[in-house]
Amino acid sequence: MLRRAVGKSLAFAGFTIQYGCIAHCTLEYIGELVVCSGPSMEPTIINHDLVFSERLSRHFYTIKKGDIVIVKSPFDPRMNICKRVIGLEGDKVCTSSPSDTFKTHTYVPKGHVWLEGDNLRNSTDSRAYGPVPYALIRGRVCLKLWPPPSFGRLSKSPTGRIIPRD
Amino acid sequence: MIVASQGMAQSSAFGRRCARAFVSGFFVAVPVTVTVLDRLAYIARVEGASMQPSLNPEGQTTSDVVLLSRWSVRDYQVQRGDIVSLLSPKNPQQKIIKRVIGLEGDLVKTRGYKNRYVKVPDGHFWIEGDHHGHSLDSNSFGPVSLGLVHGRASHIIWPPHRWQRITPSIPGGCALLLHRDRLPPSDQDD
């Protein structure tokens, strides 16, 4: 009686460990679902949208300019922020706002990226806190899942702030 | 002839059972090993002289191998004096191992940084190698975000005569000028 109960609980524990590990590997190496909050990525991503963020780009270092990424916040590692990559290391980025008369530029340092929200007026991003280390990137948002009318791939940057490399 | 074909059927059934056992074992062993290395602890060889004399005191002859705990940094709780491994802010593909000197809010005295004194911002920490002058650390790239922390070095496990538990200790000539608890409260409200 007791032996059967012990055997069953061991089997259950083994089952939980095995599927827990498979879940960890999927979330860490394939992708995860993210609920975005805040207005900084409007109109591309609205408050309470559900998106799928894939992890392969982060592990193979294939994040490109114009990608929307989920990044660990540089000021609180337990919080995540969702922004668009405007510049990779070595790229030229514009630090002045579109309304300024004199445009200022800077170059993104090695190992860092420049992030900006699509809603430039209501976004705290690299214009405020500077370039962010590449290693803080968690994943690349590739698909919007909810709400159903806006299901599908995400659009390119509407702000025109990406300076192409010549 | 019938005996030969029966023998062949048995060996192919055995082969199929072996293959199935191997595949199911593989699907258990790989996720469990990967999860243990990601969440519990992993082992790494220390390269370079930036942490001498605490790590790699013999230099080129033998490199220390350390046990790095991922579980103890899962909530980004590091202490001053800990030796931690982190993803390099200069190169995301590389991990560096340094000592934590200051945490958020502390005032540190720098060596060769653009500012003489630095107040560590929120969510950041200040790292230095024990071998000053031979170390690429916060004195080059400034305070580092806590999100880059990868693991805490808990034990040196190779070579055998260097087996020891690593305890948090601040080296002499300390850069920590003022602990955040001793700083006067700032005027600005959160």
Q: How far apart are CA A85 and CA A58, in angstroms?
A: 13
Q: Show the tokens assigned to B22.
A: 């191997």
What local confidence, expressed as pLDDT, does residue B189 receive? 46
Over the range A30-66, which residues count as b (16 or more CB within 10 Å of their CB) and which as e?
ebeebebebebbbebbeeebebebbbebbeeeebebe
Residue B187, pLDDT > 60, answer no
What is the pLDDT averaged over residues B81-92? 95
**Beta strand segments in A15-166, E:** 31-35, 50-54, 68-73, 76-87, 92-94, 105-107, 112-116, 132-133, 137-146
Residue B149, pLDDT > 70, answer yes
In angstroms, the separation between the Cα of residue B51 and the nearest Cα of chain A is 22
Q: Is residue B45 part of a domain?
A: yes
More confident residue, B52 or B85: B85
Q: How far is CA B21 from the centre of its chain?
A: 36
What is the pLDDT averaged over residues B136-142? 93
Residue B167, pLDDT > 80, answer yes
Q: How far apart are CA B190 and CA B188, in angstroms?
A: 7
HSE-CB for A97 with a 13 A CA cutoff: 11
Residue A77, pLDDT > 90, answer yes
Lowest mean pLDDT among A79-83, B42-46, B60-64: B60-64
Say if residues A91 and A110 touch (Cβ distance below 8 Å). Answer: no
Residue B53 contacts A, CB cutoff 8 Å:
no
Residue A155, pLDDT > 50, answer yes
What local confidence, expressed as pLDDT, does residue B154 receive? 95
What is the pLDDT averaged over residues B156-170? 91
Do B31 and A133 lie within an 8 Å CB cutoff?
Answer: no
User: pLDDT band for position A138 (50/70/90)?
Assistant: very high
Q: How far apart are CA A156 and CA A68, in angstroms?
A: 9
| Mean pLDDT, chain A, integer | 91
Q: Is residue B187 part of a domain?
A: no
Do A21 and B31 lie within an 8 Å CB cutoff?
Answer: yes
For B123, the closest of A28, A74, A110 (CB atoms) is A74
Q: How far apart are CA A105 and CA A114, in angstroms?
A: 12
What local confidence, expressed as pLDDT, does residue B3 receive? 67
Do A25 and B31 lie within an 8 Å CB cutoff?
Answer: yes
Do A133 and B87 lie within an 8 Å CB cutoff?
Answer: yes
Q: How far apart are CA B66 and CA A44, in angstroms?
A: 45
CATH code at position B116: 2.10.109.10
Say if residues A110 and A28 touch (Cβ distance below 8 Å). Answer: no
User: pLDDT band for position B4 (50/70/90)?
Assistant: low
Q: Is residue B153 part of a domain?
A: yes
What local confidence, expressed as pLDDT, does residue B190 receive? 42
Write the DSSP string, B60-97. Answer: TS---EEEEESGGGTT----TT-EEEEE-SS-TT-EEE
Share of chain B above pLDDT 70, in %: 93
| Mean pLDDT, chain B, integer | 88
More confident residue, A107 or B28: A107
What sign has the CA pseudo-torsion B77, B50, B170, B90? negative
What is the pLDDT averaged over residues A88-96? 91
What local confidence, expressed as pLDDT, does residue B186 receive? 63
In angstroms, the separation between the Cα of residue A95 and the nearest Cα of chain B is 21
Residue A17 contacts B, CB cutoff 8 Å:
yes
Q: Is residue B90 part of a domain?
A: yes
Domain count, chain B: 1
3-class secondary-structure state, position B100: strand
Residues B169-182: tens digit of each pLDDT: 887 767 777 788 77
Residue A106, pLDDT > 80, answer yes
Over the range B98-113, which residues count as b (16 or more CB within 10 Å of their CB) and which as e?
bbbbbbbbbbbbbbeb
Residue B111, pLDDT > 80, answer yes
Residue A139, pLDDT > 50, answer yes
Strands B95-102 and B124-128: antiparallel
**Beta strand segments in A88-148, E:** 92-94, 105-107, 112-116, 132-133, 137-146
What is the pLDDT averaged over residues A62-71? 94
Residue A109, pLDDT > 60, answer yes
Residue A99, pLDDT > 90, answer no
Q: Is residue B57 part of a domain?
A: yes
ipTM here: 0.88
Do A72 and B28 lie within an 8 Å CB cutoff?
Answer: no
For B88, the closest of A73, A78, A111 (CB atoms) is A111
What is the pLDDT averaged over residues B29-54? 92
Residues A19-41: tens digit of each pLDDT: 999 999 999 999 999 999 889 99
**Domains of chain A by range and CATH?**
31-153 (2.10.109.10)
Residue B76, pLDDT > 90, answer yes
Lowest mean pLDDT among A154-158, B13-17, B109-113, B186-190: B186-190
Residue B148 contacts A, CB cutoff 8 Å:
yes
Q: Which residues of B carry out catalysis?
A: 50, 98
Q: Is residue B144 part of a domain?
A: yes
Q: Is residue B62 part of a domain?
A: yes
Give the domain extent around B107: 40-177
Residues B11-22: tens digit of each pLDDT: 788 888 888 888
Q: Which residues of A carry out catalysis?
A: 40, 83
